[in-house]
Amino acid sequence: MVLGRDFREGMNVAVDTSLTEYTKLQEQECQSLLQLLGEMGIATAERVYGPGDAIYNQGEYGDALYVLTSGVLKLFRPYSGSKEATLRLLKPWDIFGHLAFAGETRQRAYAEAVTECRVTKVPKIFVERAVRQEPRAAFKLMTLLELRLVQYEELVKCLLPRETEVRLANLLPLLAQKFGQSTDGLVTIDLRLTHQDLAAMVASTRESVTKVLNEMRNRDVIDVDAGRITLKDTRTLARLSLE
């Protein structure tokens, strides 16, 4: 199990800091893709969902590209019989939904609104038309698909270690980069997250999350105020995530 080569840990840091760029890139590409579709006269259906509403269910046929334009939304799937894991927490300009251009496609997770959110749905045939007529749309879409893959890779990174502490040490910086609000050099995750929510994201239990979060707070690694987590010691978090 010990690695036989030099993994150059420094590189991981470089990879991670580029996630912020990913966020900006995604917003740009996603917004300009929708704009492009509009200019091409392509109909996109926008719909508003209230907290808890399902956008689609696992197993449904997916024949559209979904874009979240406002609010927060989660993709989750059941596992081990009676638990549910949050696969992705989406913010505006994230895309979701499976739209294979060939072969049958079923949604591989449940999509549910967390806050009130606005979703733009582009039927598959229109996406096809856009790709056919406008290569720029194809590039933007492929960039977005690639960024979605990166998010899954990050999820895998969170799930590889078994200890809840290490998983959270991997997850919290990700949430901070995606939902972070910078104040006084410290980053606060601008979401009300219950321990249960966090547990679903790292496939652990509420109790373990409670325990780890309190430990981190006692060690001044994080601060929790009204369900909002502030990262106070990112160096310690980074160190934890490697162990």
**Footprint of DNA on 1-60 (CB under 7 A):** 1
Does the footprint of DNA cover residue 165 (CB under 7 A)?
A: yes
Token pair for residue 229?
């987590």
Query: Of DNA, a copy of itself, none, which one sits near residue 135, judging by CB under 5 to 8 A according to partner kind?
Result: a copy of itself
Cβ distance to DNA smaller for residue 73 or 212: 212
Provide the terminal-to-terminal Cα distance of the chain, rounded to the nearest Å.
14
Quick count: other Cβ atoms within 10 Å of Cβ 25?
15
Under DSSP, the state recorded for 106 is B
CB 74 within 8 A of CB 90: yes
CB 95 within 8 A of CB 148: yes
Cβ distance to a copy of itself smaller for residue 39 or 128: 128
Query: Of DNA, a copy of itself, none, which one sits near residue 99, judging by CB under 5 to 8 A according to partner kind?
Result: a copy of itself
Cβ distance to a copy of itself smaller for residue 16 or 223: 16
Name the 3-class secondary structure at 243.
coil
Does the footprint of DNA cover residue 204 (CB under 7 A)?
A: yes
Cβ distance to a copy of itself smaller for residue 41 or 185: 41
Least distance to DNA, CB of residue 103, Å: 35
Least distance to DNA, CB of residue 74, Å: 13
Least distance to DNA, CB of residue 28, Å: 33
Query: Of DNA, a copy of itself, none, which one sits near residue 153, judging by CB under 5 to 8 A according to partner kind?
Result: a copy of itself
Whose CA is closest to 210, among 226, 225, 198, 192?
A: 198
- Torsion-angle region of 195 (φ positive above 0: left; ψ -120 to 50: alpha; else: beta): alpha
CB 91 within 8 A of CB 178: yes
Chain residues in the site for DNA (CB under 7 A) = 1, 80, 83, 162-165, 192, 194-196, 203-208, 210-214, 226-227
